[in-house]
Structure 1
Amino acid sequence: MLSDMRGTSRLVRSLGLGMVAMVTVPTAAVTVGAQAPAGQVAADHVVTIDGGDSGRAFDGVGGVSAGASSRLLVDYPEQERDEILDYLFAPAYGAALDVLKVEIGGDIDSTAGAEASHMRSPDEVDCSRGYEWWLMAEAQERNPDIAFYGLPWGAPGWFEEYWSADRIDYLMSWMDCAKQHGFEIDYLGAANESGADRDSYVNLRNALDANGYSDTDVVASDNHAPPDYWFVADQMQDDPEFADAVDVLGEHDVCVWRTEQRTCHVSEAALALDKPLWDSENSTQDYVVGAQPLARAMNRHYIDAQVTGNLNWALLGAWYDNFPIGGTGLMLADRPWSGYYEVGPSIWVDAHTTQFTDPGWRYLDGASDYTPAGASYVSLRSPETDDYTVVIETLDSTTAETLTFDVTGGLSTDPVHVWSTDLETASTEDDFIDQESVDVHDGSFDVTVEPGHVYTLSTTAGQAKGSAQSSADPGEQLQVPYTEDFDDVDTGGLAPYFSDVHGGFEAVPCAGDREGTCYQQMVTQEPMSWHGHSMSPTTMVGDPRWWGNYEVGVDARMLDAGYVELAGRVDSQQHAVAGYHVQVTHDGEWRLYSQDVQGEDTELASGETAPPGTNSWHRLGLRFRGETVTALLDGEELATVEDASHTTGQVGLRVSGWNRAQFDDLRVTPNGPAPRFVPHSQMTATATSEHAGNDAGHTYTVDEAIDDRLWSEWRSEYAPPAPLPQSITLDLGRTRQVHGVAYTPPVTRAPGLITSYEVYTSQDGHDFAQVASGRWDETRATKTAPFSEPVKARYVRLQATEATGCPQPATVTELNVATTPLAELGADGSGDGPAPEFPAVVPRAEMSASATSQQPGYEADKAIDGDCQTMWHQSFDPYEAPPQSITFDLGDTYDTSGLVYEPRQDGNRNGMITDYEISVSSDGETFTEVQAGQWAADDTTKYAEWSATAARYVRLHALEGFNGHVSAAEVGIAHTSE
């Protein structure tokens, strides 16, 4: 911890007063005082830095801790935790953040989990709950000048309405809690991404003034910007009272959510109000890929939109990685048991601004613009000295440029210090490097900048690059057996590694005759949902990569009538708990079910047992061995089923909403051998293709298939699509005896689940022999391909011959090679059965289609155009309800035998057909039904088979679809005709 630096200004004019030794690494990234290197064409550009220039005040750079995004940081070992905090908040070390925005918790799933409410009923306040107070204290210890910003996501259930006077009381009580903790809150918002209630903002301003918080600025409206950027400014233009109540206009993602952030948006109404404009939540994307978009936004916020505050969600990626946007943040910290963390280039992008400026500096409009080659630059000056700073990003530059800076208006003529970061390399060794200084001659100096970089030119000094790094192996897993008896957890505290998905769990004295501490679900009234995320109260614990041969048990005591649940093999938790669940009610009803990534339940078994009642202890259990799943109560078997929907993952506790229950003595013990795999750190990977471009905040390169992270993945190229087969080849580093491969598909609804595969091995990397092949079900479970006998190999290749989705890439989240015998997993668990081996499909070019209803732009022929990014959709404007049908003329008579239904693939479930009938006809007039059934409302490919029947016409009659709509991205008709 940098205790000697706290309270020290990050701006030290004298070169001899730097508080940490500066890192100086020679590099060719920048040429100072000279023209561009030989052979390059420099596009000269002159920038006048005038100290008398006008511009808006800079409000700072910050991070957002919300939606349980910081939960796992609390449980890190002290040394690594302090190192992470230093990278975020310490001056002259890392990101040196100016603002910390925190969630005012509401006990609801607000992105990656739930944060505790300080006021669970209108007559109780507990200022000790949660971990945001701890985080604020750590930030302030490192930077006493840091500004704090509070904002609620959801709301307690006792509110009369979401927007009501209760909200103001709630916020005032939180302000009082902050005061008790010794914090001054600089900024306060009314609600997150929930519209903007005019009266609530006015009442909030009045309440702050009446309660002694007049120095706290009100921010509005904390909504997603598109498509109506800064809509709240339009309302304020004709409402002086509303306008007077709001001090800062804060909108989210004004440079467009999870894009490259090349253009930032503002409105005339927002500018006309002459208030500070903030991007009050700008998604940083993942901690590596997000560096380039963040670098653009840091400058273009001001150039394009006059935005003076940039707050990034997430502060850091510190939640379990079986979530689709894991890794989002300035750095990664999701392995508290090992202390592993990573410092990505996003930290240094922030440092290029924060270590050379302070809030209150002023932008210089005449020195903030774009260069002819496409670089952006902003200039700022100190309000108290003659110092200035210029930040340049060249990510879209077409060539190197020599920039000439003319300095005037009373600004310093001291040498200009130059720092650079190369964002086109994967290494962080060339990030935030101190270059040689530039002398200013006759008020002028030159700097040549290369594409793909961020530069800072500044007359300030004292900056430095932190050097701490984790020594842990990213592949190190949380060990099993794993136990938690909660006795070492302080009353009211959170148990280590337990992360609430929904509701609020705390350590409390055990009820009844049991001594010690138990874990209790505390929330007794359903909170008001944020963005419709709702489920029973649930908390998760464990390593998402746990191999699934284990038994988990927990003691449970219902304090209220309802049910308790134990979950295992949880492989995804995006607003759901995808895994196996055993549920027991107080009156003895029980069920064993599987939940998928979309929150849909499939009941596997159910029954009745002796009523457990309330206020008595009982032990719930789940036992997993391969595809065998057993549910237990008090050591007695409730049911044993065969299912392979989930094969790996963590465990969880759930309570019927919204009831109280206690848990104790959680144990996870091995229930059979877990295979051993070649460590990913000892191998390298290559692929036939990969998608290396930034797609909504991630890249999909081949190395991500062996990085021990469940949120990252390799995808074969899909823009434009590279046709299957596609393969990934692992070099194991040396020849080993191997027994098979384990394939982990995406934890989300992403395309590319490999359904048909071949495995090859080689000792020399040239001659490969096939050792396995087969089909895998369309589930998110980890699959295996065991070899019939051990093979000596240095190279192992997985070739995908079929995969799901549109476009149809091959996708691998993790690929492991077993060095011990590997049991086969992947029996039918999809609910739709394995894909039929259709011999042939009618060529779509020979077909035509018509429908009983269609929306313009979504006509029937879109279902046979070969492009699964288009679709047929029944009319929704005006709305024409199902049932609706689509009929295919095959162009000739075929012995039809099946239909392949591809649902829409754009992430929207509306219109996925769930109930269907299929009929055929020879003349297009008289139809005979050949099949009927139900399909799951997900984006996996669906099949329907029937006995070969001669027909020219096939009709898909969509009886019901998700959310009252029906659609089809692509339909294929199988036949047996020669």
Structure 2
Amino acid sequence: MIQLQTIYVFLHLIVLSLGYTDVYNIDDREGFGRPFDGIGGISGGGATSKLLINYPEPQRSEILDYLFKPNFGASLHILKVEIGGDGQSTDGTEASHMHNALDENYQRGYEWWLMVEAKKRNPNIKIYGLPWSFPGWLNPMGQRNPYQFPVLTATYIIKWIKGAAKFYNVTVDYIGIWNEKDYDKVYVKTLRKELDKAGLGHVKIVAPDAPHIQDWKISEDILKDPELAAAVEYIGSHYPGTITTKEAIQTGKPLWASEDYSTFNDLVGGGCWARILNQNFVNGNITGTISWNLIAAYYDTLPFTRDGLMTAESPWSGHYVVESPIWLGAHTTQFTQIGWKYYRHGYGSGHFVFGGSYVSLASPDGKDLTIIIETMSHDHSKCIRPPLPKYNVKKQTVKFQLKGQFANTKVLQMWKSKLRFDNTSSTFFKKQKPLQIINGTFTLDLDVDVVITLTTLNTGNKGSHKTPPPVKDFPLPYMEGFEKYNEHEEPFNFAQQTGSFEVKDLGGGQGKVMRQMVTQIPVYWCAAEKLNFATNYIGSQKWSDIYVQVDAKLGEANSSDGYFVGARIFEGGCNILDSTGIFFFVFPATQRFLVTGNIGQSVIHKLGPTGKLNVKGWNTLRLLVQGSKAVGLLNGKILFNVTVADYKTHGFAGLGTSSWGIADFDNFVVASPHDGEKIIDNVLRNADDSNVSPEIDVLNL
């Protein structure tokens, strides 16, 4: 049987041959569709904003303007942040506000800072919190299950919500369950009850925040379970491919793409963002869309490089890039607000016959109208997931007829973007001549790969700042003594991959150190936590011949059994189990050392006794890698000189522990091999190696 759509297109070709154009009605006389819930970005899912906080001014404020400032750039309506759980969740770990049951701290990490900065620029922005991992103490039974004790977990989440309000004056509007993992009906209901008991009735639950294969399944449970239906305010899907299910629609709940996009932010990524912002509603009645991630502010060789709305991965230079998704999203965000109303399908929202889509939205007071049009071609708008079925888009002429409350509109402001296959010839968010409306009608000639906004608003603006400085390589030599930080801050440029590292003031004139805080395996999100020890990387995966040094000390209690420095470390994120490199481990209690070519310690270059060392005090580890040779020193004594030719030739520098537990690090140095040789020569000439000043003098730091 020939499908109706095929018949329609065939008849349409005949109509076109007679000189007619398609007519699309914008008509509110029969009522509106669903309320618009906003467009947002995610900071988290693995430390994706890690490098943003240490950008210099004014570049840091400029970047924040492009993301959050109304009528300037992306002008986002929602900021979704990770509730840190001390576990690896894609590109790194984010610190929990409660490393253990007796610990509670709201100075850790950078999500607090980011929420405050977003609110400064847009007091109306909505805040959404979601855990990816949980600290291990929430499941004393030792299972990978945060739901075993639902009141305990709900209380942990409530403390984070209250901490945001108490310490930062930030109101959390939405809260999720467990990112991309199975939801638990008992926990969801318990969380709602505990929120209400805590006076947090305004905090709405989004569930399940799961991949599209399983995410809409909660709709079936909601239809069967009135208590669950009362607990869940929004149904959140990840990467739904612009479609939903009949059960999801039957619930009557607002439907969100609570994580979407996740695509390299070149022109194709921009096309992906433009297409799904329209078609999530047109195809699936989805009224809120949130990008993973907000900003690519993590080392570009970690997983999902540049999957952000813009790029800021070079704080040492101040360089950043305003990418195409910023401006393609602005076509929606600058001319709508949460609470506007979508026009119904066929009455202001729908597909064009020859490809592309349109949505119309009206302000709650009925004074303003915005229409967003996109004609993204298949190859210019493929998202990373799910696969995009083939389709065609053609140039076309379309005619709109305004009916209802906007029938007498005389003029619409017009903004346009045109994607080509290179940045130089593409145009982004360019204001056009106002469009004149005659008797409620207007006609547009639509090219392929365009986004057009038509609006009664006069507030749009393509914001700009001065051109940022040019990009530079990570600076060498580099030394970090941790004295410049506040206690509990994460040191700049370090990208913790497992575990959680923060600045600790030892007091008594000893100064500040970087301490690894996690003492047991988290309720982990990805398999990286099976590594069972903490890792922290820094620098560049381009580094090959390199010198790395650190002073290390085990904790007085709940300590790790050892620590390491590393070079040429390749692979991070959830792939860390596959990391190769040169790792120099020291185990003070047994006075042994190990040199291995992979993080899992299955490839051993050398092991043996360390000789005399400070079991409970500070020890200095030095590692010099040149060509196929690696040389290691402990407290001024050469322990090994081994061949490493068969392993990766480049990668990060790093440090960490050999098991979960407390360990302190200080006086970290990474330098060129030439400087490293000078340091080693200087050390070997000094019998007393307890003072690090010779290294500082050699590097002129």
TM-score range, shorter chain: 0.7 to 0.9
Partner of 1:12: none
Partner SS state of residue 596, structure 2: strand
Partner of 2:177: 190
- What is the aligned counterpart of 2:111 among 107, 110, 132? 132
- What is the aligned counterpart of 1:116 among 95, 98, 101? 95
Distance in 2 (CA, whole Å) between partners of 1:149 and 1:57 is: 18
- What is the aligned counterpart of 2:398 among 382, 403, 411? 403
Amino acid at match of 2:200: Y
Distance in 1 (CA, whole Å) between partners of 2:643 and 2:137 is: 44
| TM-fit CA distance, 1:170 | 0.7
Q: How does 1:704-719 map to 2 (within 5 A)?
A: none
Distance in 1 (CA, whole Å) between partners of 2:618 and 2:215 is: 54
| TM-fit CA distance, 1:41 | 11
Partner of 1:541: 538
- Alpha-carbon displacement from aligned partner over 1:362-404 (angstroms, at most 9, x marks no partner): 1101111111111111111111133111111111363222221
Partner of 2:264: 286
- What is the aligned counterpart of 1:497 among 466, 470, 493? 493
Query: Do structure 1's residue 515 and structure 2's residue 510 form an aligned pair?
Result: yes
| TM-fit CA distance, 1:190 | 1.6
Distance in 1 (CA, whole Å) between partners of 2:120 and 2:432 is: 31
Query: Do structure 1's residue 103 and structure 2's residue 100 form an aligned pair?
Result: no
- What is the aligned counterpart of 1:662 among 661, 664, 668? 664
Distance in 1 (CA, whole Å) between partners of 2:19 and 2:336 is: 29
Give me the CA root mean square deviation.
Answer: 2.0
| TM-fit CA distance, 1:42 | 8.8
Partner SS state of residue 421, structure 1: strand
| TM-fit CA distance, 1:470 | 4.2
Q: How does 1:794-873 map to 2 (within 5 A)?
A: none
Query: Do structure 1's residue 527 and structure 2's residue 522 form an aligned pair?
Result: yes
| TM-fit CA distance, 1:619 | 0.5
Distance in 1 (CA, whole Å) between partners of 2:158 and 2:107 is: 16
- Alpha-carbon displacement from aligned partner over 1:900-929 (angstroms, at most 9, x marks no partner): xxxxxxxxxxxxxxxxxxxxxxxxxxxxxx
| TM-fit CA distance, 1:237 | 1.4
| TM-fit CA distance, 1:652 | 1.0
Q: How does 1:621-770 map to 2 (within 5 A)?
A: 621-644=622-645, 645-672=647-674
Partner of 1:437: 434
Conserved 8 A contact 1:424-1:453: no
Partner of 1:567: 566
| TM-fit CA distance, 1:140 | 0.5
Which structure is higher in RCO with an 8 Å CA cutoff and minimum separation 6? Answer: 2
- Alpha-carbon displacement from aligned partner over 1:535-558 (angstroms, at most 9, x marks no partner): 311111223323x22221111111
Give the 3 Å change call, closer, same or farther, for CA 579–469 of structure 1 in structure 2. farther
- Alpha-carbon displacement from aligned partner over 1:635-692 (angstroms, at most 9, x marks no partner): 2121111223232332111113311111111112222399xxxxxxxxxxxxxxxxxx
Partner of 2:591: 588
Conserved 8 A contact 1:339-1:470: no
Partner SS state of residue 674, structure 2: coil
Amino acid at match of 1:666: F
Conserved 8 A contact 1:331-1:343: yes
Paired residue total: 622
Partner SS state of residue 75, structure 1: coil
Distance in 1 (CA, whole Å) between partners of 2:618 and 2:82 is: 35
Conserved 8 A contact 1:40-1:399: no
Partner of 1:251: 237
Conserved 8 A contact 2:571-2:580: yes
Conserved 8 A contact 2:261-2:272: no
- Alpha-carbon displacement from aligned partner over 1:693-718 (angstroms, at most 9, x marks no partner): xxxxxxxxxxxxxxxxxxxxxxxxxx
- Alpha-carbon displacement from aligned partner over 1:219-278 (angstroms, at most 9, x marks no partner): 11000112x3501111111111111110000010001xxxxxxxx221111100001000
- What is the aligned counterpart of 1:347 among 303, 309, 326? 326
Distance in 2 (CA, whole Å) between partners of 1:92 and 1:553 is: 47
Query: Do structure 1's residue 295 and structure 2's residue 282 form an aligned pair?
Result: no
Partner of 1:47: 24
| TM-fit CA distance, 1:525 | 2.3
Give the 3 Å change call, closer, same or farther, for CA 561–174 of structure 1 in structure 2. closer
Q: How does 1:597-612 map to 2 (within 5 A)?
A: 601-610=602-611, 612=613
Give the 3 Å change call, closer, same or farther, for CA 70–142 of structure 1 in structure 2. same
| TM-fit CA distance, 1:409 | 0.8
Give the 3 Å change call, closer, same or farther, for CA 458–651 of structure 1 in structure 2. same
Give the 3 Å change call, closer, same or farther, for CA 561–94 of structure 1 in structure 2. closer
- Alpha-carbon displacement from aligned partner over 1:55-80 (angstroms, at most 9, x marks no partner): 00000000011110000001111211
Moved over 3 A (4+): 39-43, 611-614
Distance in 2 (CA, whole Å) between partners of 1:107 and 1:144 is: 29
Distance in 2 (CA, whole Å) between partners of 1:41 and 1:59 is: 42
Distance in 1 (CA, whole Å) between partners of 2:468 and 2:234 is: 42
5+ residue gaps, structure 1: 1-38, 256-263, 675-978
Distance in 1 (CA, whole Å) between partners of 2:230 and 2:675 is: 66
Distance in 2 (CA, whole Å) between partners of 1:241 and 1:625 is: 64
Partner of 1:175: 161
Conserved 8 A contact 1:187-1:218: yes
Conserved 8 A contact 1:80-1:470: no
Partner SS state of residue 53, structure 2: helix
- What is the aligned counterpart of 2:456 among 446, 456, 459? 459
Partner of 2:247: 269
Amino acid at match of 1:141: K
Q: How does 1:854-933 map to 2 (within 5 A)?
A: none
- Specify which structure has the higher proportion of strand: 1
Conserved 8 A contact 1:41-1:399: no
Partner of 2:11: none
TM value normalised by structure 1: 0.62
Conserved 8 A contact 1:387-1:459: yes
Conserved 8 A contact 1:97-1:354: yes
Partner of 2:122: 143
- Alpha-carbon displacement from aligned partner over 1:696-751 (angstroms, at most 9, x marks no partner): xxxxxxxxxxxxxxxxxxxxxxxxxxxxxxxxxxxxxxxxxxxxxxxxxxxxxxxx
Partner of 2:693: none
Conserved 8 A contact 2:42-2:292: yes
Partner of 2:207: 220
Query: Do structure 1's residue 335 and structure 2's residue 338 form an aligned pair?
Result: no
Conserved 8 A contact 1:363-1:380: yes
Conserved 8 A contact 1:414-1:459: no
Amino acid at match of 1:282: D
Distance in 2 (CA, whole Å) between partners of 1:610 and 1:327 is: 46
Deviates more, 1:608-617 or 1:478-487: 608-617
Conserved 8 A contact 2:568-2:581: yes
Give the share of equivalent positions with the same residue, in percent. 35
Partner of 2:48: 69
- Specify which structure has the higher proportion of helix: 2
- What is the aligned counterpart of 1:367 among 348, 365, 385? 348
Distance in 2 (CA, whole Å) between partners of 1:173 and 1:43 is: 62
- What is the aligned counterpart of 2:35 among 22, 36, 57? 57
Partner SS state of residue 169, structure 1: helix
Conserved 8 A contact 2:47-2:93: yes
Partner SS state of residue 133, structure 1: helix
- Alpha-carbon displacement from aligned partner over 1:575-608 (angstroms, at most 9, x marks no partner): 3143211001022111111127xx6742111111
TM value normalised by structure 2: 0.86
Larger Rg: 1
Distance in 2 (CA, whole Å) between partners of 1:574 and 1:101 is: 20
Partner of 1:747: none
Conserved 8 A contact 1:42-1:401: no
Partner of 1:483: 479
Partner SS state of residue 642, structure 2: strand
Distance in 1 (CA, whole Å) between partners of 2:492 and 2:630 is: 27
5+ residue gaps, structure 2: 1-15, 140-144, 378-391, 677-701
Distance in 1 (CA, whole Å) between partners of 2:658 and 2:640 is: 21
Deviates more, 1:613-622 or 1:202-211: 613-622
